[in-house]
Amino acid sequence: MSRLTPICWLHLALSALLALGLAVRAGAEESPQRIVSVGGSVTEIVFALEQQHRLVARDTTSNAPAAALELPDVGYVRRLSPEGLLSVNPDLILAEDGAGPPEALALLHESRIPVITVPMGFDRAAVRAKIEAVAGALGLPEEGAVLAADVDAQIAAAAQTDPGGKRVLFVLAMQGGRIMAGGQGTAADGVLALAGAENAAQGFEGYKLMTDEAVLTAAPEVILLMEGRGDMGVTDAALFGHPAIAATPAGQAGAVVRMDGMLLLGFSVRTGQAVQHLAAALRGIGG
């Protein structure tokens, strides 16, 4: 009798999970009650709408509120595990735009589990749209409208805080001695704009490596970093030991601000808090 290879076993396991998903979907209530939330911002909105009892799993970026960490983890938002997604028998996947990989989402479509994509964006209007999209998927449009209006008011109020018009460079990582910074069209650029600060990284879109010359030309007065990233974090010693950074106004003054990454870049229900915190931190640098 021939033995099954590991790949055959994987296909058999996925087929069983797909069949189970179809059965669960067929018997699911009209209103989804077994939801997987993919993307930290989406999870925060589900909790803010007090619908966390309908969540059966979340992705790795969903680290707030703390109660979200008690849910099973199906993987990083852009590297989802199809086995993990199907094993929790969801009747709805709520996913940030850009979630993947495509083959994982294709398996969900095969199992007829609905996937609702939540739009992304990095301004006040985008936050409102995201909240309304999640609330609509949960069958709570009125509650979503109320929450969206409240969060929008918080962001508007926080955006009035004067940070002193500082030039800020958001550093995502250091790779091979080069600085990876957030340019235009990024969450970092969006939150800096809301806080009234100037993004020192100009002339490129997305997160890219900058040459030393570009860092010097950017001349940031403050460096903005995400805190608590473990081995992926950038220490003060590494940052200010970088020759180009050391020669900037931020390097000479040792001016750095660190914030929780999901709070800072999530563009969700806590964005008003993030803008207020960032503006206050920038205002406190340099008198």
Tell whether 92 is covered by a domain: yes
The H-assigned helical ranges of the chain are 6-27, 40-48, 82-87, 102-110, 124-137, 141-158, 187-194, 212-218, 236-240, 243-246, 249-253, 261-265, 271-283
Same-domain pairing of 44 and 86 = yes
- The last residue of one of the domains, among 156, 191, 209, is 156
Specify the pLDDT at position 232: 66
Tell whether 11 is covered by a domain: no
- The last residue of one of the domains, among 125, 156, 187, is 156
Same-domain pairing of 29 and 148 = yes
Specify the pLDDT at position 287: 55
Same-domain pairing of 29 and 147 = yes
The domain in which residue 253 lies consists of 167-283
Tell whether 59 is covered by a domain: yes
Q: Write out residues in the chain with pLDDT < 50, as ranges.
A: 1-29
Same-domain pairing of 84 and 177 = no
pLDDT in tens, 211-270: 999 999 999 999 999 997 655 678 899 999 999 999 999 999 999 999 999 999 999 999
Same-domain pairing of 192 and 116 = no
Q: Three-class SS of residue 260?
A: strand
Same-domain pairing of 211 and 239 = yes
- Angstrom distance (rounded) from CA 86 to CA 117: 18
- The last residue of one of the domains, among 156, 189, 210, is 156
Domain count, the chain: 2
CATH number at residue 80: 3.40.50.1980
Tell whether 52 is covered by a domain: yes
The pair of three-digit structure tokens given for residue 191, joined into one six-digit string:
């939150």
Q: Three-class SS of residue 173?
A: strand
Same-domain pairing of 54 and 150 = yes
Please give the order of strands across the beta sheet that includes 115-118: 55-58, 35-38, 92-96, 115-118
Tell whether 235 is covered by a domain: yes
Same-domain pairing of 130 and 190 = no
Same-domain pairing of 188 and 122 = no
Specify the pLDDT at position 146: 98
Specify the pLDDT at position 230: 59
Same-domain pairing of 101 and 205 = no
Tell whether 161 is covered by a domain: no
- Angstrom distance (rounded) from CA 134 to CA 95: 9
Same-domain pairing of 150 and 219 = no
Tell whether 104 is covered by a domain: yes
Same-domain pairing of 259 and 278 = yes
Tell whether 12 is covered by a domain: no
